[in-house]
Structure 1
Amino acid sequence: MSNIELILEEKAADIGNFLVGRLLPFREKRAVGPFVFIDHMGPAELKDYQNLDVPPHPHIGLSTLTYLFEGSIFHRDSLGSALEIKPGAVNWMTAGKGVVHSERTPEYLRTTDKKLHGFQIWVGLPKNLEQSEPTFHHVEANEIPSWEEDEVHYKLIAGDVFGKKSPVPVHSPLYFIELKTKASKKVNIGKNLFGESALYVLDGTVTIEGNTYGSKKLLIAKNAQLCEFEMSDNAIVYIFGGEPFDEERFIFWNFVNSDKELIEKAKVNWNDQNHEAFPLVPGDEHDYVPLPKSKLNRK
């Protein structure tokens, strides 16, 4: 019997002036462990007049994880953080009760041809941290644990598995793992995994129980501990998951929470531009993403 519970096709979504491939959420699957939202950005070839510009926008009740394969994004937030995200590094911003941030092409790249490719991920917070103070952490690429085993290269982007721990300060038991091969290899890592688990093929293919799967598909496992597959030559695979929460997480626009009333309050505060609840972003104070009118009175 197959260990694949669900196969989700990546779907196009618009995040302003940039198209992405949405992996989560889907009607059939709202979350995998604490992961509630995943966008695959690119790969995009941007001309000298094309830039990523996501103006200041708010979040509550989640942590954002930005991880790039190619290109660069300049991050600013209402905590005063301002830095460039480069390939292999991790930006981890915990919104808690409320944070605002912007994501743009760095100034020095805005008039040149450039590439952009990576993941934008939202991770839900445990209920007791949904109203915590916001925080921001940046982890450089050389700080992420990486190793080779049986000719498979591993990178533990976030979480605690394989007896290793990423320095990304996550708030619940989870894992986000990169696997790369040069030659075809069988992989059996189920004994290390827990909770709910999903697999995404970036390059190459994986074969599971005689069936081969390529890119733009998210494979949801029935049982994380039965995670066994064969990777093709030059394959890149991402596995993410962890312990799901006891309570349902609701998503409305950029807000995630187990309490719908807190989401409604956040909608009003952002629509009214209440800067006590959602402070301005230093260095990017003159622009913002309005709350979609269709979201204001939707419960």
Structure 2
Amino acid sequence: MFDSFIEQVLTPVTHDLGGFKVHRTLPHKARTMVGPFLFFDQMGPAQLDAGGGIDVRPHPHINLSTVTYLFDGAINHRDSLGTAKRIEPGAVNLMTAGHGIVHSERSPGDERAAGPQLSGIQTWLALPDGKEEIDPAFEHVAADDLPVISDDGILTRVVMGELWGRRAPTTALAGAIYADIRLRAGASVPIDAVAEERAVYLAFGEATLEGMPLEAQRLYVLRPGIAATLRSETGARAMLCGGDAFATKRHVWWNFVSSRPDRIAEAKRAWTAGEFPKVPGDDKEWIAIPEVPNTVSYP
């Protein structure tokens, strides 16, 4: 009865990374992309052990942008451009890989003693045709610089693109909309039909979409051109993502994305051969290419 406004419901694959779980809804066997979004991970929430933390060793990317957005905790980002930037809740880190970048993500030292908290969303965006091989870049947008819409029981931060007349300063190389929507008890918001492809993800709490109860950690892809209302009786936190549909298919294998499978094969060879740049200040460790990656798109 709900197929008039819901196109697909994508259930997650959950990975236990030792101390915290990651729920991955994109790429999915049923669908690779929603607008430019082709990777969607919810990290945590988790309280890590005292003295511990996350240590994502240096690893490569091509032909994509990573978008890191935290609900709780902090992460130190370093990359082969020489960037060293701490991200905290409400801010956004946008790293554009272009023809190739290497980065690491680790819990800050001052967070480790008491045991770091970790909760947030990491997404990847495909770069548009003609821009896959641009120069790598990094951009940090502070929480205070992102538009916040507060009215009638809602508190929404626009992370990328434009929502309800407010535009984020975050660079968007492809047409994209990305927002963090918090609903207090009894509040509702319209999910307008302003993007070609849109999806709603319930991170926490209870919510309905056009009266249909949502399950947490599911990505609900809306039919194009159909508006809907997101409502919560007891409080919720949800993400809205989407944007312009891509005419050209993107392939995903491990940390590599491209419109050309042969470009991914070349990136695999180059990483194995040590031809990617190093991360200044974090060049003693790295992640080897897995035989069977957790992240793949499907034919």
Bin of the TM-score, shorter chain as denominator length:
over 0.9
Q: Distance in 2 between matches of 1:19 and 1:210?
A: 29
The one of 172, 177, 180 aligned to 1:178: 180
Provide Cα deviations, 1:153-200, integer angstroms capped at 9, x if missing partner.
221011123222111111011101122122312322314x21111101
Q: Distance in 2 between matches of 1:17 and 1:98?
A: 30
Q: How does 1:225-264 map to 2 (within 5 A)?
A: 225-264=226-265
- Flag structure 1 segments of 5+ consecutive residues without an equivalent: none
Which runs of 4 or more aligned residues in structure 1 lie more than 4 Å from their structure 2 counterparts after TM superposition? 14-18
Preserved contact between residue 194 and residue 225 of structure 1 (Cα < 8 Å): no
Amino acid at match of 1:254: N
Match of 2:45 in 1: 43
- Flag structure 2 segments of 5+ consecutive residues without an equivalent: none
CA separation of 1:16 and 1:248: change in aligned 2, threshold 3 A: farther
The one of 290, 293, 297 aligned to 1:292: 290
Aligned-pair identity (%): 38
Q: Distance in 2 between matches of 1:152 and 1:294?
A: 42
1:58 aligned counterpart, secondary structure: strand
Amino acid at match of 1:290: A
Task: Tell me the TM-score normalised to structure 1 length.
Answer: 0.92
Q: How does 1:261-280 map to 2 (within 5 A)?
A: 261-274=262-275, 278-280=276-278
Preserved contact between residue 197 and residue 224 of structure 1 (Cα < 8 Å): no
Provide Cα deviations, 1:118-171, integer angstroms capped at 9, x if missing partner.
011100000211111000000111101002233322210111232221111110
Preserved contact between residue 35 and residue 123 of structure 1 (Cα < 8 Å): yes
Q: How does 1:1-299 map to 2 (within 5 A)?
A: 1-2=1-2, 3-14=5-16, 18-191=20-193, 193-223=194-224, 225-274=226-275, 278-294=276-292
Amino acid at match of 1:293: E
Q: Distance in 1 between matches of 2:260 and 2:207?
A: 39
Q: Distance in 2 between matches of 1:139 and 1:213?
A: 30
Of the structure 1 ranges 88-97 and 209-218, higher mean CA displacement relative to structure 2 is found in 209-218
Amino acid at match of 1:219: Y
Aligned residue pairs: how many?
293
Q: Distance in 2 between matches of 1:16 and 1:280?
A: 26
Preserved contact between residue 182 and residue 235 of structure 1 (Cα < 8 Å): yes
Preserved contact between residue 107 and residue 116 of structure 2 (Cα < 8 Å): no
- Shift in Å at residue 10 of structure 1? 2.4
- Shift in Å at residue 7 of structure 1? 1.5
Amino acid at match of 2:191: I
Task: Tell me the TM-score normalised to structure 2 length.
Answer: 0.92
1:216 aligned counterpart, secondary structure: coil
CA separation of 1:202 and 1:227: change in aligned 2, threshold 3 A: same
Cα RMSD for the two superposed structures: 1.9
1:155 aligned counterpart, secondary structure: strand
Q: Distance in 1 between matches of 2:18 and 2:248?
A: 31
